[in-house]
A and B are shown apart, each in its own frame.
Chain A
Amino acid sequence: MSTLMDVPAGKTKREVIDQAVIRFAGDSGDGMQITGSQFTNTVALYGNDIATFPDYPAEIRAPAGTVPGVSGFQLNFSSEEVHTPGDSIDVLIAMNPAALKVNVGDLKANGIAIINSDSFKESDLRKAHLTTNPLEDHSLDKFRVFPVELQRLTRSALQHLGLDAKAMDRCKNFFALGMCYWLYNRSMEPTVRWIDDKFKKKPLLAEANKLALKAGYSYCEATEAFQISYEIPPAQLSPGLYRNLSGNQALALGFVTAAKKAGLKLFLGSYPITPASDILHELSQYKDFGVLTFQAEDEIAAITSSIGASYAGCLAITSTSGPGMALKTEALGLAVMTELPLVICNIQRGGPSTGLPTKTEQADLLQALFGRNSEAPIPVLAAATPGDCFWIAVEASRIALKYMVPVIILSDGYLANGAEPWRIPSVEEIPGIPVRFATDPEGFLPYKRDPETLARPWAIPGTPGLEHRIGGLEKQDVTGNINYEPLNHEKMVRIRAAKIDAIVQDVPNVLPSGDPEGDLLLVSWGSTYGSITQAVKAERAKGRKLGHLHLRYLNPLPANLGDILKRYRKILVPELNMGQLLWVLRAKYLVDAVGLNKIQGRPFKQNELEQKIEELLGRQEAR
């Protein structure tokens, strides 16, 4: 059998390209998320820049072969910098008619469709509500279609192992993965290692999956199915050691790091909820770092146990998504009143109510800023990319501990599950987080503040002589005793607000990327960072004078934000909501900003943003 390198030229062409978008789509039981992650890991290890978009149904296993059961994993990998998973796709792997139907609309003309032709029987078509067979009805004529008998070929590769048909069929995703590795000239080595580790205790299954993978690769080689293969050289990322990291993993690592830097025990109180549960899963593994994870009976106990742990001297955090955030509201007020450090992660999803549990949205900003009874300001930070979740976790912890306040982190389903190459910092380069527990009974008063930060002392149970009481009732200034006097109440409300406002001293001034002044400034926050960056780059290349400002601190806002807004003729605020940051900016800075609002449970596409920019500036303005 020939090896890749000596494939005669002319039979199989190898083309060097700079970027490709690939999407794996199948039933939620077809292992598409694993297949996609494996491909991602391999190309990341090779040195490509990547952005991923796992898109899976809320149902664990919707009826097999149906449209609601389709699970997809999209990857954009490139020799250049990438910020988004890509608007449209170059290669689609479709494991059944439903997966084809749902995804083929995103496939570029002349794009490659690798289709499991074994699953296009009449009953399969019916399940996908198709009346004709797309493999025969010419609906796919504008694509390069490769029907492959994935089931039959996988079975014949594995038949000697003595597995039953079901077990063999479960390996067909790796057959498809092997094909993709051939198509993009990638080594199977990292996946082989992963299989060996994953099926350590089941050598037969390890063998089966490896064989399926290699069979897929060899199939392409032997049949010359594709006529062409592609090579995407490594990207020029800034030097350093990299790993592939998802947003939820990054948050977990960030908190472990912050706890270590602060010299505190880390406590997570959490209740399972999509798409935040992975933070609980991750942190529950890190017992060797002394991490205490408490899977509470409900969202309320998740946060109130964290408040208890904070009172007892832990770096305490709680993780949830929108519906859980709603349940935690009263306890957030308690944390504000008792002035205890706490970090609350809201991994936003489509809402209201149960909404779209597995889809992304950024519609909880106003809830984070204002969603509590009475005057209860809380600092709010938002991560821009999966890797940025690490730094946001460290920063939120630092603010919570320095100022003795609860801090909200906004992430979302897209960041939580999406992954990117992350430059691994060395622990030594991350600044320490100084924490001082009160120990001296002399002059101790629970609400006597640090003049600079307005933080009250953190006096934890077990400290002799500092016995004191805190709670949700209004406090007397300094003493912390219960107090209902009108002037004291107003004073305390203003102190709590001033304390949050003072955090602005730690918020770096922002600098727009792109043009420092000009026709249009795009202001964004959260997970839209990537697509907006990409769109601004493309539109500036056309000669437009654009700036882009991405906010990581949403409360307090950067001190120089108002000045920057004045430097542009127009302001556009693209958000995956009805215009929440827009509302804040208009109210606070009296600017006539406009919004671009998408509420479809999906991230922005680059072209949607470019269209809006062109609509605002006019096509003729392009120089």
Chain B
Amino acid sequence: MTTTALPPLTKKDFQTDQEVRWCPGCGDYAILAAVQAVFPELGVPRENFVVVSGIGCSSRFPYYMNTYGFHSIHGRAPAVASGIKIAHPELEVWVATGDGDALAIGGNHTIHMLRRNVGIKVLLFNNRIYGLTKGQYSPTSEFHKITKSTPFGSPDHPFNPVSLAIGAEATFVARAVDVFQAHLKDTLKAAAAHKGSAFVEILQNCNIFNDGAWTGLTEKDTRSEHVMQLEHGKPLVFGKNRDKGIRRKSDGDIEVVPLGNGIAESDLVVHDAHHPRPSYAFLLSHMEHRPGFPTPIGVFRAWDDLPRYEDVINDQVREVIAKKGPGDLNRLLRAGDTWEVK
């Protein structure tokens, strides 16, 4: 794609005249602001952006982005986006989706898009609740959660979206938080730089139906104890005073260790986001479910050596044409055995 001779784009170029209709205080505003801030920096002409969504609060997103946009049907955004991307690989296709849209009704499309490595960026807004239908539990709601549809507590065990994406062998998997703006923007930029499928779970508050969805992670005084920021090539450290870390055990598992008393950062696991195999990233993605372990945010996995699906498909076309020449329709219609009636 060409970027020459274009005036630099600004955040304003990506805002629409549509009135934004999320509830006041919704985490979606922060995500919208971050995306609108990041898009102008990507060096992509505005007309090459396509934002695709399904159904849900998050899926209103395309209406507020002054790009090409497609507000599709519930759960199907990855499939609509795949069609667009296969048809025109040069387009920059982003999907805005939610925990219900991407993991319940659209779970199938999500995992298949990821395993194919279609070069689409997926932003999964995870507020652990159904907002647009007014408060039922979602596939990421906690076990036993009381909601409108589970007055006696949810009987479902939740999905961990990052684990699911890594399990589908997504080549880029990251987690960000709506209120950590700078980190969110950096994560979006990293996703944009990835050629293959990029999956970003964005922890997001729903102040109407699930207020405090991520309180433990976002409160100023507690967050550094509960959140661990991943950085490629850096040791896994967390804690208010950066005094805890993650160490490999001899059996291959990991443990939380206090730093000091003979344990140094050099004893800790050094984050390797670029490892071709997903097992290490999967291990990281699961630690938050264990007592005493932090919730990692940042890029879990960014391995970009897998060919993109749309390139494979379009390369097949190019290769066949290079070998056989462009198809001759008259010849095709006359293929096989023919006979003349006079």
Residues of B contacting A473 with CB < 8 Å? 71
Q: Is the CB of B84 within 8 A of A461?
A: yes
Say if the beta carbon of B250 comes within 8 Å of chain A: no
From A45, A237, A260, A292, B337 is in contact (CB under 8 Å) with: A45
Say if the beta carbon of A312 comes within 8 Å of chain B: yes
Please, which residue of chain B has its CB at the minimum distance from the CB of A313?
Answer: B87
Q: Is the CB of B329 within 8 A of A256?
A: yes
Q: Is the CB of A467 within 8 A of B47?
A: yes
Query: Chain B's nearest CB lies how many Å from the CB of A447?
Result: 14
Residues of B contacting A460 with CB < 8 Å? 88
Q: Is the CB of B82 within 8 A of A239?
A: no
Query: Given A288-B326, A304-B80, are A257 and B333 neighbors across the interface (CB < 8 Å)?
Result: yes
Q: How far is A288 from B326 in the complex, measured between Cα atoms in Å?
A: 5
Please, which residue of chain B has its CB at the minimum distance from the CB of A338?
Answer: B70
Say if the beta carbon of A481 comes within 8 Å of chain B: yes
Query: Given A241-B334, A312-B87, are A468 and B69 neighbors across the interface (CB < 8 Å)?
Result: yes
Query: Given A241-B334, A242-B339, are A312 and B83 neighbors across the interface (CB < 8 Å)?
Result: yes
Query: Given A260-B329, A292-B86, are A301 and B339 neighbors across the interface (CB < 8 Å)?
Result: no
Query: Chain A's nearest CB lies how many Å from the CB of B153?
Result: 32
Q: Is the CB of A471 within 8 A of B313?
A: no
Say if the beta carbon of A297 comes within 8 Å of chain B: yes
Q: Is the CB of A469 within 8 A of B87?
A: no
Q: Is the CB of B340 within 8 A of A256?
A: no
From B88, B91, B316, B335, A287 is in contact (CB under 8 Å) with: B316
Say if the beta carbon of B324 comes within 8 Å of chain A: yes
Q: How far is A473 from B155 in the complex, measured between Cα atoms in Å?
A: 33
Q: Is the CB of B84 within 8 A of A312?
A: yes
From A44, A313, A462, B48 is in contact (CB under 8 Å) with: A462
Q: How far is A463 from B68 in the complex, measured between Cα atoms in Å?
A: 9
Q: Is the CB of B321 within 8 A of A294?
A: no
Contact stretch, chosen from A171-179, A423-431, A568-576: A423-431
Q: How far is A290 from B79 in the complex, measured between Cα atoms in Å?
A: 21
Q: Is the CB of B340 within 8 A of A424?
A: no
Query: Chain B's nearest CB lies how many Å from the CB of A388?
Result: 15
Please, which residue of chain B has its CB at the minimum distance from the CB of A252?
Answer: B332
Query: Given A461-B91, A470-B70, are A294 and B333 neighbors across the interface (CB < 8 Å)?
Result: no
Say if the beta carbon of B314 comes within 8 Å of chain A: yes
Query: Chain A's nearest CB lies how many Å from the CB of B86?
Result: 6
Say if the beta carbon of A309 comes within 8 Å of chain B: yes
Q: Is the CB of B47 within 8 A of A241?
A: no
Say if the beta carbon of B308 comes within 8 Å of chain A: no
Residues of A contacting B69 with CB < 8 Å? 467-471
Q: Is the CB of A294 within 8 A of B325?
A: no
Residues of B contacting A393 with CB < 8 Å? none
Residues of A contacting B334 with CB < 8 Å? 241, 243, 424
Scan A554-587; emit 1 where CB is below 8 A from any B CB, else 0: 0000000000000000000000000000000000
Scan B75-116; emit 1 where CB is below 8 A from any A CB, else 0: 010111111111110110000000000000000110010000
Query: Chain B's nearest CB lies how many Å from the CB of A467?
Result: 5
Say if the beta carbon of B241 comes within 8 Å of chain A: no
Q: How far is A265 from B112 in the complex, measured between Cα atoms in Å?
A: 24
Q: Is the CB of B73 within 8 A of A469?
A: no
Please, which residue of chain B has its CB at the minimum distance from the CB of A257?
Answer: B329
Say if the beta carbon of B67 comes within 8 Å of chain A: yes
Q: Is the CB of A469 within 8 A of B70?
A: yes
Residues of B contacting A312 with CB < 8 Å? 50, 83-84, 87-88, 91
From A289, A313, A426, A468, B88 is in contact (CB under 8 Å) with: A313
Please, which residue of chain A has its CB at the minimum distance from the CB of B325?
Answer: A288
Q: Is the CB of B108 within 8 A of A464?
A: no
From B70, B317, B336, A471 is in contact (CB under 8 Å) with: B70
Q: How far is A151 from B325 in the complex, measured between Cα atoms in Å?
A: 46
Please, which residue of chain A has its CB at the minimum distance from the CB of B6?
Answer: A464
Q: How far is A292 from B334 in the complex, measured between Cα atoms in Å?
A: 22
From B68, B78, B112, B314, A461 is in contact (CB under 8 Å) with: B68
Please, which residue of chain A has its CB at the minimum distance from the CB of B91?
Answer: A461
- Across chains A and B, the number of contacting residue pairs, with CB separation under 8 Å, is 213
Query: Given A239-B341, A286-B327, are A461 and B48 neighbors across the interface (CB < 8 Å)?
Result: yes
Say if the beta carbon of A135 comes within 8 Å of chain B: no
Residues of A contacting B342 with CB < 8 Å? 239
Q: How far is A44 from B339 in the complex, measured between Cα atoms in Å?
A: 8
Residues of A contacting B325 with CB < 8 Å? 288
Q: Is the CB of A287 within 8 A of B71?
A: no
Q: Is the CB of B83 within 8 A of A305?
A: yes
Q: How far is A468 from B70 in the complex, measured between Cα atoms in Å?
A: 9
Residues of B contacting A286 with CB < 8 Å? 327, 332
Q: Is the CB of B86 within 8 A of A41?
A: no
Residues of A contacting B70 with CB < 8 Å? 308, 311, 338, 469-471
Residues of B contacting A301 with CB < 8 Å? 76, 78-79, 82, 108-109, 112
Say if the beta carbon of B189 comes within 8 Å of chain A: no
Among A190, A294, A300, A312, the one with the most B-chain Cβ atoms within 10 Å of its Cβ is: A312
Say if the beta carbon of B245 comes within 8 Å of chain A: no
Q: Is the CB of B80 within 8 A of A290?
A: no
Query: Given A462-B91, A466-B47, are A287 and B320 neighbors across the interface (CB < 8 Å)?
Result: yes
How big is chain A's contact interface, by range? 35 or more
Say if the beta carbon of A149 comes within 8 Å of chain B: no
Query: Chain B's nearest CB lies how many Å from the CB of A28?
Result: 25
Q: Is the CB of B72 within 8 A of A469?
A: no
From A45, A253, A298, A426, B332 is in contact (CB under 8 Å) with: A253
From B67, B85, B112, B337, A41 is in contact (CB under 8 Å) with: B337
Q: Is the CB of A288 within 8 A of B324?
A: yes
Q: How far is A41 from B338 in the complex, measured between Cα atoms in Å?
A: 9
Q: Is the CB of B84 within 8 A of A424?
A: no
Q: Is the CB of B336 within 8 A of A267?
A: no
Q: How far is A190 from B63 in the complex, measured between Cα atoms in Å?
A: 61
Q: How far is A425 from B80 in the complex, measured between Cα atoms in Å?
A: 35
Query: Given A286-B332, A288-B325, A427-B333, are A461 and B339 neighbors across the interface (CB < 8 Å)?
Result: no
Say if the beta carbon of B66 comes within 8 Å of chain A: yes
Residues of B contacting A463 with CB < 8 Å? 47
Q: How far is A426 from B332 in the complex, measured between Cα atoms in Å?
A: 11
Say if the beta carbon of A18 comes within 8 Å of chain B: no
Say if the beta carbon of B194 comes within 8 Å of chain A: no
Q: Is the CB of B47 within 8 A of A469?
A: no
Say if the beta carbon of B266 comes within 8 Å of chain A: no
Q: Is the CB of B79 within 8 A of A305?
A: yes
Scan A289-324; emit 1 where CB is below 8 A from any B CB, else 0: 111101011101100111111111110100000000
Q: How far is A298 from B334 in the complex, measured between Cα atoms in Å?
A: 34
Please, which residue of chain A has its CB at the minimum distance from the CB of B342?
Answer: A239
From A257, A287, A288, A300, B76 is in contact (CB under 8 Å) with: A300
Say if the beta carbon of B4 comes within 8 Å of chain A: no
Residues of B contacting A288 with CB < 8 Å? 320-321, 324-327
From A44, A256, A331, B73 is in contact (CB under 8 Å) with: A331
Query: Given A307-B80, A311-B70, A469-B69, are A244 and B337 neighbors across the interface (CB < 8 Å)?
Result: yes
Query: Chain A's nearest CB lies how many Å from the CB of B106?
Result: 9
Query: Given A47-B341, A466-B47, A469-B63, are A309 and B108 neighbors across the interface (CB < 8 Å)?
Result: no
Q: How far is A216 from B326 in the complex, measured between Cα atoms in Å?
A: 43
Residues of B contacting A289 with CB < 8 Å? 326-327, 329, 332
Query: Chain B's nearest CB lies how many Å from the CB of A484?
Result: 11
Please, which residue of chain A has its CB at the minimum distance from the CB of B321?
Answer: A288
Say if the beta carbon of B298 comes within 8 Å of chain A: no
The 4 A-B pairs at the shortest CB distance, nearest first, are namely A308-B83, A471-B71, A305-B83, A469-B69
Q: 28 A-B residue contacts at CB 8 Å?
A: A240-B341, A242-B339, A243-B338, A243-B339, A253-B333, A267-B86, A304-B72, A304-B73, A305-B79, A308-B82, A308-B85, A309-B84, A312-B88, A312-B91, A314-B87, A331-B73, A338-B70, A423-B341, A424-B338, A425-B333, A460-B88, A462-B91, A463-B47, A464-B47, A468-B69, A469-B16, A469-B62, A471-B72
Q: Beyond the given A267-B87, A305-B80, A308-B82, please list 6 additional residue pairs across the A-B interface where CB-CB is below 8 A.
A: A241-B339, A287-B321, A301-B82, A311-B84, A461-B49, A471-B70
